[in-house]
Copies of this chain bind each other. A is one copy, B any other.
C-alpha cells in the first residue's frame, strides 16, 4: 500500500479558522461573493498557501490559483479546488472544504518531503453560489470560455452594485488572465449536500457525473372570486389546480427511475384568505442521470399539468426555461478515486451529483472527477450543514492520494476525452 495521509488536526484548524470569516450566530457562514468577508477569507487563503510555498496567480475574474511547482513544469498540471463564497446563512463546509482539502494536501506533501512531477494548482473559483450575483459558477464559467467576462462584470446585486466594481473594490481583479491549459487532471472535493452517503453508511462518494437538469415556469389562470358566495362546483380555483399539479409532480418523480422533481416556488394571486385565487405561478426543477428517463418524466409531468388544468377549469402555460445536459466525469479518474478509497480502507459508493459545481465547466475541457463526503442529515445551504472532522480528513486523504498518483504520471500518460 503506497498511500500517505493528511494531518487531521491541522485540517480541522484550517476549517475552523476560515469559518470565522462571515461566521453567523448559529454556526454557519454568510460569505457572499465579493463581500468584505469573501475578501478577508481570500487574504487568509493566500497567506496560508504562500507560507506553504505556493505561487499565487489571480486572473481578471478574481479566480485565485495557488501553484505548488512540480519537477517538470512543462508538463500539464493537476488541478483541484472549489469556492470560498457561501449562500446567505449557509454552511461552513460547502465549497471551502475543497480549497482547504487542497491546502492540506500541499502541507502533507511538504511534510512528506515529496516533490511531484507536475505542478499542482489549487484554485478558488469566484462566485460559485450565484446568490449575490446570478448566475453562479461565474469564475469557472468564464475560465472555461462559456460565460462572457464583460457580461459577468455587469451583473448587479440587490443594491445595484456591479460584479466588476465589487471585484475591484475588494482588490481581487487580476491584471491579466492565467491559463494553465492543458490540464492533466482536475479533482473537486466537496460535501455531498444530500443524505445518500449517510443513509448508506459510506464515507466516500464517487459521482460518475452531474445529473442533467430541466427548469420550468408554470402559470395557472383561473377565475378569482369571493370565497363565500361561489359554490364549489362553479369554481376555477388556481390554488386547487396547483395542488393537483404539484401532487403529480412529486408522485411522478417518486415513481421514476432515479429522477427527482421539485416544486420549489409557489406565488398565488391575490393570496388573500377570503378570495379564490385567480392565478398561480410556480416552478419545477427536474434532474436525473438518465437523460431519456428525465425527458420521459418531463413529458409525463407536462401532460399531468395540462390534464389537471383541464379538470379544474383553468388554463395553463408551461415554459421550459433552462435545460442542461448531464456532465459525465472522466471514467479513469472516477476509477482512480475508487481505487484510492480502497487502498485507504474507506467505504465508497458510486453515485451521481444532483447539485451543480464548478467542475461542470472544467469537465468540458479537462479530465475531471469529484470526491464527496457525507453531509450530516443530508442538510446543506443552511447553517446546520455539517460534516464530521473524521470524514473531512478521509476525503482529504483521498484527494491527496489522487493528486499524488496523477501528478506523478509520466509525460507519456494522457487521459483521452471520454466518449
Residues of chain A touching chain B, judged by Cβ–Cβ distance below 8 Å, are 192-196, 199, 211, 213, 215, 223-234, 237, 239-240, 242-247, 250, 253-254, 256, 260-268, 271-277, 283, 285, 287, 353-356, 378-382
Check B215 against A273 for contact (C-beta < 8 Å): yes
Q: Are A266 and B264 in contact (CB under 8 A)?
A: no
CB distance from A374 to the nearest CB of B (A): 11
Given contacts A271-B264, A381-B226, contact A243 B233 (CB under 8 A): no
Contacts A243-B247, A246-B239, A285-B273 given: A233-B254 contact, CB under 8 Å?
yes
Interface centre among A211, A247, A381 (most CB of B within 10 A): A247
Are B226 and A355 in contact (CB-based, < 8 A)?
Answer: yes
Minimal beta-carbon separation of A283 from chain B (angstroms):
5
Please report whether the interface of chain A is mostly helix, strand, loop or mixed according to DSSP: mixed
Q: Contacts of A273 on B, CB cut-off 8 Å?
A: 215, 264-265, 283, 285
Contact A243 B263 (CB under 8 A): yes
For the A-B complex with A195-B234, A227-B260 known, give 11 more contacts whose Cβ atoms are closer than 8 Å: A194-B225, A194-B231, A199-B234, A211-B228, A228-B260, A228-B353, A230-B378, A232-B261, A264-B272, A264-B276, A273-B285
Kindly provide the distance from the CB of A277 to the nearest chain B CB, expressed in whole angstroms: 7
Residues of B within 8 Å of A353, CB to CB, are 228-229
Q: A250 contacts which of B195, B232, B272 (Cβ < 8 Å)?
A: B232
Q: A244 — which chain B residues lie within 8 A by C-beta?
A: 243, 247
Copies of this protein chain in the complex: 2
Complex CA gap A206/B271 in Å reads: 31
- Expressed in whole angstroms, the Cα–Cα distance for A40 and B35 within the complex equals 53
Q: How far apart sit A272 and B381, CA to CA, in the bound complex (Å)? A: 12
In whole angstroms, how far apart are the Cα atoms of A352 and B310 in the complex?
A: 30
A225 near B380: Cβ-Cβ < 8 Å? yes
- Evaluate contact between B196 and A229: CB separation under 8 angstroms: yes
CB distance from A94 to the nearest CB of B (A): 10
Interface centre among A228, A234, A245, A381 (most CB of B within 10 A): A228
The answer for the CA separation of A63 and B381 in the assembled complex, in Å, is 55
**Residues B275 and A264 in contact, CB atoms below 8 Å apart:** yes
**Given A242-B243, A246-B243, also A264-B354 (CB < 8 A):** no
Contact A229/B277 with A243-B247, A265-B272, A266-B266 known, Cβ cut-off 8 Å: no
The 7 closest A-B pairs by CB, nearest first: A194-B229, A228-B354, A229-B354, A243-B246, A227-B262, A232-B254, A243-B247
Q: Contact: A250 with B237, CB < 8 Å?
A: yes
- Among A193, A215, A230, A381, residue most surrounded by chain B Cβ atoms (within 10 Å): A230
